[in-house]
Amino acid sequence: MFFPYIKFIIIFTLYMKIKMQTVRITKEFKFEGAHALLNYDGKCRHIHGHSYILHVTVKGTPEDNELSPKYGMLIDFSILKKIVNENILDKFDHALILRENAPLSEDIKNIYGNVITVAFQPTCENLVIYFAEQIKKSLPANVQLYSLKLYETATSFAEWYAEEN
């Protein structure tokens, strides 16, 4: 009666003994933010907001130690979430992002609080590059940042790939 069940467990266990291979995992994050593009020749020169969506993809080889509580995982999604929250979302969610040399940026920061000034034009393209640098610094040694995709609107996004940088 139990023989087919035991046979299944043995076959399943043998199957799981295969060599771990490189995989990629992705987690999605959402945050609200506003920015203004200094000296831009269109509407985006005005302070305006976005509902950003950030896809973070990492790659590596999953843990192959069967005794590890992280066996079969590249990185626990909760750890990846913590890294992105601490480096990106906790700072940028509901913030106004301005170029550091923007007129009145210090006055606005003093009045409204959650204002981030950056050394670059806060475009979607530059933000995704900045986010990649911040996230890379905090990943465990066995995990590599593979790519980021930052949606500024439902139809507009910037992508960053490690292999191209």
User: Which CATH class for the 20-164 domain?
Assistant: alpha beta
The per-residue pLDDT for 115 is: 93
Query: Cα separation of 4 and 2, whole Å?
Result: 6
Domain ranges, ordered by start, for the chain: 20-164
Per-residue pLDDT of 80-128, as tens digits, reads: 999 999 999 999 999 999 999 888 888 888 888 899 999 999 999 999 9
Percentage of the chain exceeding pLDDT 90:
75
CA distances from 153 to 33, 77, 86, 132, 141 (A): 12, 25, 23, 19, 33
Residues found in the chain: 165
The per-residue pLDDT for 108 is: 84
pTM of the model: 0.86
Residues 17 and 5 sit within 8 Å (Cβ to Cβ): no
Strand-pairing partners, residue 25, are: 58
Say which range, 2-6, 78-82, 87-91, 160-164, has the weakest mean pLDDT.
Answer: 2-6
Q: Which two tokens stand for residue 146?
A: 């593979």
The kind and range of the H/E element at 90 are: helix 90-92
Per-residue pLDDT of 19-28, as tens digits, reads: 779 999 999 9
Residues 134 and 54 sit within 8 Å (Cβ to Cβ): no
> Of 55, 68, 64, which Cα lies nearest the Cα of 148?
55
The per-residue pLDDT for 16 is: 55
Q: Tell me what the pLDDT averaged over the chain comes to.
A: 90
Per-residue pLDDT of 52-73, as tens digits, reads: 999 999 999 998 888 889 998 9
Q: Is the pLDDT of residue 9 over 80?
A: no
